[in-house]
Structure 1
């Protein structure tokens, strides 16, 4: 089961935003996240807000989901307009889940068409969908490309059957070259997601997965350390002693192998867990998160952020659909970030980027309150200061392994 939503203040029934959300909005990009909460099988490690057909029961139809999402898009447009948030074409759209491609490609196209009709898409907009390798066909990928999708992110996770079995992944790893080829033929850019540190995964297994990913010649690779989350099947297996808890040293060693293999293949890190073939291949939607842009999350459990206001929707698809049918916001809670909270988030997210963190934006200086901490971090080999970027720090490879420690050193 996915984790509980955070505590927060009530969201107004009409979803209204405070006037402060509009301040500076014309200078910020706007992204749209579309959450599709359906999966054929729940993976044992997953704590995302997803549901199988048996978990949903009645009242939450996959067939009606595109129309339900369109209702929230309409609500979003009204809320932003009434708040005075600048009208802007959407820079990025990301369809995640769950398994978005469990829905017919026509439904995903319907949702994208409604985003386009509501706000417009900026020239060169990035439009991504996640997909499982066993949930696409040449025809469905072609239909997505014709609808305006530019990019697909495949949940590869591993190339080793016993690792996939431990993760409860259902696809055949030998299918990956086919689905990547189909995506290329449709004109879509390709990203693959990998997970390392699965119980029972050897160093040789991880290298096999990396080499298989490289052989696909993707534009982008995400490599995430497995986290064991409470409430998941895998969490219960670890608690009962059926699986070992992932080891931090093993994860660090595997990250270094990933960095070596992916870098040698021409993929450069631009965020701690993400590698791109060129700067243009970096995921612009995720960069918008890390840079504090505006985004509206459509769907049950989806999170949004506009101008320092953060809110999140009710989790269950039935409750989500019911609220929208009643003409009400599906928001479950919200928080207004004060200056200290916004600065903390800027540091926490910005420090993870290869472009480096600007310690005092616009000044080119290291603030007095950070000087000692930065000196110590440099001495410990965790950060460096690029000569051409005064006032910025960037993580070293060792720093990438200890990014949380860097954040702690830079915050009170």
Structure 2
């Protein structure tokens, strides 16, 4: 029997979630879980994610109790998904992000994964990934994590240049990230990803190429490379406004992207999404593909976003507010009902970025004409009924999407 009572307000987030959970389309394109762990030892200067240092948490919140709170949301999610003629799909992928998930003990992370299995069921061959900062893991920790059911590790390396890490306010040495890959492989992880940031003020072309080659030589089978974005309200934005460091250059970012494609493709990696390369299809991040291909997921933890057919909602951001709201019911701070135009825009935006391409059948007539123009302009090719970006098109992906959806 479900413990979820019928909702009185038909316009509430809970009512929208209940209606979406009953949609037979739930899980048709896969179902995932995102678990947000909002703790960080210190805040990186470029980061605007929903993260908190110990001094920012306030009363009633601690790492020690966090896993039990998230497990309670997972149980509540299962109850809501099965209530009112809904159904609980098996979970294909799980992704722990942050923050720094590995500031929790490996046992805590494993207990959350076990709760997902107990409450929903993990599908055969599931993928379970956690992000990790290099300084937060060692060989014993990763061995315990692997034994706890995790299948994939994503390490935030960012750069192997010490002066770049200093600008980014990263706490680890360049070698720490490479050590994490070694420890992960020894623990049994088959798939290990390294994240890079390019275009940091002071970074040279040689710095970035050295980072790329270090990632390849370390034995990672997946690399994500993102241009540095200066977000309002961050320490980096304040430093740029004060003239202490220069504004990142779009032209430099384009050059760095071309370098990533050259070095990684030479090493046997293939791009499968504009910012992601993998050595094989098995090395691709299936959880992120779930997002990009229109799947559904439940986001647990403060600030986490969820998506079921036709509805998106997001949890309260501060851990203490989130915990209090969860004690009263669905911890949603807000939600939105997705119109057909919303869904159309998201389908085009996300699938255009994939190497597998955008099916032309998804496009409206104006979009098909734009696709033909993109092909004529050398930004894409049309193969097997799909629009696929060229290298130049990947550099201009946002403009291509804008034309396809205008």
Match of 1:404 among 377, 394, 398: 398
Query: 3-state SS of the aligned residue for 2:178?
Result: helix
Could you tell me which residue of structure 2 aligns to residue 263 of structure 1? 265
CA–CA distance in structure 2, aligned partners of residues 31 and 136 of structure 1: 25
Query: 3-state SS of the aligned residue for 1:63?
Result: helix
Is the contact between residue 300 and residue 315 of structure 1 (CA under 8 Å) also seen in structure 2? yes
Q: Where in structure 2 are there 5+ consecutive unaligned residues? A: 1-9
Query: 3-state SS of the aligned residue for 2:64?
Result: coil
Alignment of 1:10-49 (within 5 A): 11-12=12-13, 16-19=17-20, 22-49=23-50
Question: CA 1:371/1:93 → structure 2, altered by over 3 Å: closer, same or farther?
Answer: closer
Alignment of 1:211-290 (within 5 A): 211-290=213-292
Match of 2:372 among 375, 391, 408: 375
CA–CA distance in structure 1, aligned partners of residues 402 and 396 of structure 2: 10
How far apart are 1:356 and its partner, in Å? Answer: 0.2
CA–CA distance in structure 1, aligned partners of residues 74 and 369 of structure 2: 47
CA–CA distance in structure 2, aligned partners of residues 290 and 12 of structure 1: 24
Query: 3-state SS of the aligned residue for 1:170?
Result: coil
Is the contact between residue 93 and residue 126 of structure 1 (CA under 8 Å) also seen in structure 2? yes
Query: 3-state SS of the aligned residue for 1:410?
Result: helix
Alignment of 1:28-107 (within 5 A): 28-107=29-108
Question: CA 1:403/1:184 → structure 2, altered by over 3 Å: closer, same or farther?
Answer: same
How far apart are 1:233 and its partner, in Å? Answer: 0.6
How far apart are 1:81 and its partner, in Å? Answer: 1.1
Query: 3-state SS of the aligned residue for 2:313?
Result: strand
Question: CA 1:394/1:129 → structure 2, altered by over 3 Å: closer, same or farther?
Answer: same
Could you tell me which residue of structure 1 aligns to residue 381 of structure 2? 384
Query: 3-state SS of the aligned residue for 1:22?
Result: coil
Is the contact between residue 20 and residue 309 of structure 2 (CA under 8 Å) also seen in structure 1? no
Is the contact between residue 10 and residue 332 of structure 1 (CA under 8 Å) also seen in structure 2? no
TM (normalized to structure 1)?
0.93
Alignment of 1:107-126 (within 5 A): 107-126=108-127
Q: Which 4+ runs in 1 deviate beyond 3 A? A: 9-16, 83-86
Q: Where in structure 1 are there 5+ consecutive unaligned residues? A: 1-8
How far apart are 1:79 and its partner, in Å? Answer: 1.4
Could you tell me which residue of structure 1 aligns to residue 4 of structure 2? none
Query: 3-state SS of the aligned residue for 1:221?
Result: strand
After the TM superposition, which of the residue ranges 308-317 and 54-63 deviates more from structure 2? 54-63
Query: 3-state SS of the aligned residue for 1:297?
Result: strand
Question: CA 1:270/1:26 → structure 2, altered by over 3 Å: closer, same or farther?
Answer: closer
CA–CA distance in structure 2, aligned partners of residues 374 and 308 of structure 1: 27
How far apart are 1:294 and its partner, in Å? Answer: 0.6
Query: 3-state SS of the aligned residue for 2:74?
Result: helix
Is the contact between residue 28 and residue 295 of structure 2 (CA under 8 Å) also seen in structure 1? no
Q: Deviations over 1:300-349 (max 9, x none)?
A: 000000112101011000000111223x1110111111111101100000
Is the contact between residue 34 and residue 95 of structure 1 (CA under 8 Å) also seen in structure 2? yes
TM (normalized to structure 2)?
0.94
